[in-house]
Amino acid sequence: MRYAIQVQYIGKNYAGSQIQFRNGEETETPTIQGELEKAISTLIFGDTENNNRRFKTVFSGRTDRGVNSTGQTVHFDTDKPIVASKFVYQLNEILPKDISVSNLRLVDDNFHAQKSAKCRHYRYVFINRKCKNAFDGDLMRIKFDINIERMQKALNYLLGEHDFSSFKSSGTLNPSTVCFIEKAECKKDGDKVTIDIKGNRFLYNMVRTIVGTLLEIEGHNFPAEHMKQVLDACDRCKAGQTVSPYGLTLIEVTY
């Protein structure tokens, strides 16, 4: 039987969502996947300290160190029937305080958390203010004034299907660089700026580099068309910096 579950987490204390390996061996670096698999194995098999059996999970996609999630989808297989409400409650009691689960459901054996996904929604939030505030937390603070209308015009150039090579990190393993973006919107509420981007897939560090390019446009007072020039160049050197992971959240994955 295959089950899918929603996972929420604050990524600050983890080296990303995926288990880390060195020389073919799993490292002790804390990850979301490592904590989740350990907790599920404890519920299914009992004490895992002296038990080599361990559940394997499949995530809808990778998130980097410091990135949060409110809607990461994960699937796993087991031949043991699960009572959803009881399992979710017990799992949340075992998991660290900055990881939680919800919405456990039985899915078809053909369902795949990553390959079956049709759309992913990311949100980036930063502060636009000269002075710091103790409650800003880890959010990035931009001191210069931004033009939200120009930012939106720049984002509009990303809509549709394009080669996003300019926004991919050198660590991208998948050679395919074509993505379809169905939504790219920004808004400002007080001194908080929110950027929402939805697409069928995202390259490694793509959202953070898009935000970095937006801030380069604003910081240098470039026209919004600069975003199109960067996009068409298919050259990472033309884009802005990859901004801090703090403030980036995987909001939802739809199927």
Q: What is the tens place of the pLDDT at every residue in 72-122? A: 999 999 988 899 999 999 999 999 999 999 999 999 999 999 999 999 999
The CATH 3.30.70.580 portion of the chain extends over: 2-107
Which of the following CATH numbers is that of domain 2-107: 3.40.50.1470, 3.30.70.580, 1.20.1250.20, 3.30.565.10?
Answer: 3.30.70.580
Give the span between the Cα atoms of 21 and 171, in whole angstroms: 15
Give the span between the Cα atoms of 195 and 190, in whole angstroms: 14
Please determine, for residue 2, whether its predicted confidence score (pLDDT) is greater than 80: yes
pTM of the model: 0.92
Mean of the pLDDT values across residues 18-46? Answer: 87
Side-chain-side CA neighbours of residue 149 (13 Å): 0
Q: What is the pLDDT of residues 135-161, one digit of tens each?
A: 999 999 999 999 999 999 999 999 999
Contact 245, 69 (CB under 8 A): no
Active site residues: 64
Fold classification of 119-254 is Alpha-Beta Plaits (3.30.70)
Element (H, E) at 219: helix 206-219
Please determine, for residue 48, whether its predicted confidence score (pLDDT) is greater than 80: no
Question: How does residue 243 score in pLDDT terms, banded at 50, 70 and 90?
Answer: very high
Distant-in-sequence, close-in-space partners of 236: CB < 8 Å, separation ≥ 6 = 165, 166, 167, 168, 169, 170, 209
The CATH 3.30.70.660 portion of the chain extends over: 119-254
Q: Produce one character per residue of 85-123: b if its CB has 16 or more CB atoms within 10 Å, e if not.
A: eebbeebeeebeeebbbeebeebeeebbbeebbeebbbb
141: left (phi over 0), alpha (psi -120 to 50) or beta: beta
Mean of the pLDDT values across residues 21-35? Answer: 85
137: left (phi over 0), alpha (psi -120 to 50) or beta: left
